[in-house]
Amino acid sequence: MQFYVPCTQVEQKYYYHSYYENNKLTSVAIYSIMLHMSTLKELKKLENKRARLLSELQKTESMIRGTYVDAYRKCGKFNCWCAKEKKGHPIHQISWTKDGKSRSKAIPKEDIVWVKKMTGNYKKWRGIRTNLRKLEEEARFIINWVEEDIIQKTENLRKYF
């Protein structure tokens, strides 16, 4: 995914356009007229991606907040085997944060598969939300850039701007 930074005008017809892709700053000179056509295409692509992501969100019918965790705990009995070992007895739990506090709850063995599925749904949901935010940020940037470009061209038609 690309993250754009504001353009700076180098010549009258060319813009120095920089964007971040995979945490690397990339710069290109873009011809202004062609940019409007490509930005409209780019906005359409973003809208199509957004529609696909929203469709994925609508497919989710159930989820629970949190992460499934396999952990180990010592029982506290002096003569138990876990007193001599590092890990202890295996336990299955779900961990989550609510109201700024970390919480966890033990999960019965018969619910492990269900909890894994529900927390997986939650993780997928959150990933899609993050991608939607990035797409909307990119679309907002493109729209703002086109607005500024049109205003700049219009102001250049008169000397008093």
Q: Where do the structural domains in the chain lie, given as residue ranges?
A: 1-161
Inter-CA distances, 92 with 14, 48, 68, 110, 118, Å: 60, 40, 8, 11, 15
Give this prediction's pTM: 0.65
Cα Rg of the chain, angstroms: 26
Give the pLDDT of residue 65.
93
Give the pLDDT of residue 30.
43
10-residue mean pLDDT profile of the chain (161 residues): values are 45 45 49 59 90 94 94 90 88 94 94 96 95 90 84 82 72
Q: Is 60 helix (H, G, I), strand (E, B) or coil?
A: coil
